[in-house]
Amino acid sequence: MDEDSTARSLAFTLKSRGVDVITALEANRLGYSDEEQLIWATSQGCSLYSSNVRDFYYLHTLFLQQKRNHAGIILVQQQRYSMGEIMRGILQLIATKSAEEMIDQVEFLSA
């Protein structure tokens, strides 16, 4: 989870359901650029979750244009959905897509 998405209750709830989650805070990654966060997440084999839709969608398209890979990006407009809806969306995505299927993909969560 990037630093724009440090909702501790969401991370805690996902972890309690067995999801491997690390926040930018826990990884000591606060203050890094969005591109640096995406590169780091990819190096860890992790998809990146963010409510920073505009910037991370731009990075997704830039990476594709430059033929650079990323481990996947999960985007949500946080003000639009409750924490429960976001959690259910993430759990549904995990149930339907493998890590390999997320490579170079962007997924928009919706209720």
Look up the CATH architecture of domain 3-108: 3-Layer(aba) Sandwich (3.40)
DSSP string, 23-85: -TTTTT-TT--HHHHHHHHHHTT--EEES-HHHHHHHHHHHHHTT---S-EEE--GGGS-HHH
Q: What is the pLDDT of residue 6?
A: 45
How far, rounded to the nearest angstrom, does the alpha carbon of residue 78 sit from its chain's CA centroid? 12
Q: Flag whether pLDDT at 53 surpasses 70.
A: yes
Write down the mean pLDDT value for the chain: 90
**71-87: per-residue pLDDT in tens?**
999 999 877 888 889 99
Q: Which two tokens stand for residue 30?
A: 């606060």
Domain borders along the chain are 3-108
